[in-house]
Each structure stands twice: as C-alpha cells, then as structure tokens.
C-alpha cells in the first residue's frame, strides 16, 4: 500500500492544475494566483482532517475564474485553517465562502478576477 504525504498530494495537485491552465493559454500571473488559492483551499481541507476524496474544480469564464474544493459529507471546518485561508483569499479573490448542499456535501469556493487582455 502506497501512502503519500499531504505535502506530496498538494504538490501533485498544483502541478496538474498548472499544466492544465497552461494548456488553455491562461496568463502566467493568473495561473500563479489560481494555483495559490487552490493550494490553500486544499490545505485547509486537509487541516480539518477530511480523509475522504476531495474534488478540486476550476471553471474559467471571460471575467473570472472559480475555484472549488468539494467533499461528500457536511463537516464544520475549524477556525484556524480558515483564518489562514482567508488571509490568502483576501489578497487574491474578490469573493469566497463555503456552501452546504442538500445532499450533505460541502464546498469551499473562491472567485478570482481574470486579468484584462
């Protein structure tokens, strides 16, 4: 059985995200911002000891990029990881929060403005 560390999982997620965004021709500075937000959101989820699969999604539109980290069950996130996450998001995102689904799922979300071309 192979077990990887949280740091390795975060690095792998960042590398995969960076490669996908680069293939789509996203501006390098925006790639760095999206990568930082995704990393901090995943880290906050790991800090809350979510052992189930986390789903990272990034949706691009003309004016903003939405980053989401979802999990299947509704858990209350601890304050300290969210305070650290909020510091990053305050600097990079124009909106963020948590949502709870009727099916018992939950997610962290953030929206980042896309740079003007």
Alpha-carbon distance 72 to 85, whole Å?
Answer: 21
pLDDT in tens, 72-98: 776 655 566 677 788 888 899 999 888
Domain range for 94 is 6-113
- Number of domains into which the chain is organized: 1
Query: Would 28 be classed as within a structural domain?
Result: yes
Query: Would 1 be classed as within a structural domain?
Result: no
Is the sign of the CA dihedral 33, 37, 40, 42 positive or negative? negative
pLDDT grade for 1, boundaries at 50, 70 and 90: very low
At CA 24, angle to CA 21 and CA 25, rounded to 5?
A: 95
pLDDT in tens, 28-56: 999 999 999 999 888 888 877 666 688 89
User: 37: phi > 0 → left, psi -120 to 50 → alpha, else beta; which?
Assistant: alpha
Do 98 and 107 touch, CB atoms closer than 8 A?
A: yes
Backbone angles phi, psi at 46, to 5 degrees: -65, -40
CATH (domain of 82)? 3.30.565.10
């Amino acid at each position: 059985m192979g077990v990887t560390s949280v740091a390795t999982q975060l690095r792998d997620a960042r590398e995969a995200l960076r490669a996908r965004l680069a293939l789509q021709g996203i501006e390098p500075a925006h790639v760095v911002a999206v990568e930082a937000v995704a990393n901090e959101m995943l880290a906050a989820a790991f800090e809350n000891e979510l052992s189930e699969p986390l789903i990272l999604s990034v949706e691009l539109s003309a004016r903003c990029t939405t980053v989401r980290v979802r999990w299947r069950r509704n858990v209350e996130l601890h304050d300290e990881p969210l305070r650290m996450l909020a510091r990053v998001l305050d600097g990079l995102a124009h909106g963020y929060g948590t949502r709870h689904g009727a099916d018992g799922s939950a997610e962290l979300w953030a929206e980042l403005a896309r740079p003007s071309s």
